[in-house]
Amino acid sequence: MLLAAREKLDHAGMTSSLRTRAVHAGRDDLTDLGVHAAPLDLSTTYPSRDSAAEAARIDAFAAGAELDGPPIYGRVGNPTVERFERALAELEGFEHGVAFASGMAAVSACLLSAVAQGKRHVVAVRPLYGCSDHLLESGLLGTEVTWATPGAVAAALRPDTGLVFVETPANPTLAEADIAELARACGDVPLAVDNTFATPVLQRPGHHGGRMVLHSATKFLGGHGDVMGGIVACDAAEAARLRQIRFATGGVLHPLAGYLLLRGLSTLPLRVNAASATAATLVSRLGEHPAVTAVHYPRIGGPLVAFEVDGDPHALIGAVRLITPAVSLGSVDTLIQHPGSISHRIVDEGDRHGAGVSDQLIRMSVGLEDVEDLWADLEQALKAL
């Protein structure tokens, strides 16, 4: 079920719905500033005549503190990006958000944070987004991964386990994991949840014990297929580590991207709820089509649909005309792709199949088109099978 629009959030002594907060989060000071649109600050550096004070601020940042005043340098921070960070953190129910140049930069920073604390072992639940799977499996960042089912996470933990990583609903099968049960199984080990598919409109992992909530902001948060970014919502201690990693590695979000992502948040609940309603209708119809052998759709709903076909999936991809045959998801237009060929091609074939990503599986991200137009396109494309 979708989270009710009237669900209340505490904000500045007032109660307001997620839909209202999505419009106002990160923009609360605009009236006092005398502007209507959030300012776009493109500065790469911030001048100061007091270099002694700047030295003190740099020392404070190195010690994990947030900077008061201008950010000194664009790799330390940016006011426009910080608006987006505050807004997403608020929607997810966290104190802090740390934005990155891409979703994978955000994942990488979380892994590096664990390694920096002497915890190089990661327990992860498949399936994950293909590049997340590859990053863990390859050990490129010095991590070692143990793959486990949700029920086996507790048994897989070791003294050097620094992170448990899960994506739910999972990419691309839409398999779901019980976040609260996973959090209990993790004990003191931080649980990182990739919430890209659900967004805070459908679930808020932090309310169920998730310690870090990740997004590929490129997807639903931006919502229009024209901006790339990533973000982690977390507590103050983790945010300090992530900011230092971002400063050292340079995976910063461009201010224009931060501006577009903040703008995208304002329509996030409307877009996700509308696309989810259309997706539910398509799920029902796909389930009755003779060329479709299985349909996967999460209990919480959402705009993502996965289905398996009897025949050549590439023929279907090539036959759509209204639907966009492309990787990625979360845009206003409907996208369709074959995970085994694109998003999860980098994953070993045996691991891919073992995680439920069959060669017949197709993933569709439903957009904002009319449901009858989308069904007409799907119906004619299914004939290609």
Q: Which residues are catalytic?
A: 75, 129, 194, 219
CB count within 10 Å of CB 125 equals 23
| Residue 128: half-sphere exposure toward Cβ, Cα within 13 Å | 32
Structure token digits, residue 46: 């911030």
Cα–Cα distance, 136 to 278 (Å, whole number):
35
Give CA–CA dist 40/43, Å, rounded: 9
Name the E strands within the chain.
8-11, 14-17, 96-100, 121-124, 144-147, 161-167, 191-194, 212-216, 230-234, 292-296, 304-309, 324-325, 335-337, 361-365
Contact 70, 46 (CB under 8 A): yes
CB-CB contact of 336 with 317 (8 Å): yes
Q: Which helix (H) or strand (E) holds 242?
A: helix 236-249
Distance, CA of 379 to chain centre: 31
Structure tokens, 164: 């448990």
Q: Residue 192 and residue 107: Cα distance in Å, rounded? A: 9
Alpha-carbon torsion, ordered 318, 322, 327, 328, to 10 deg: -160
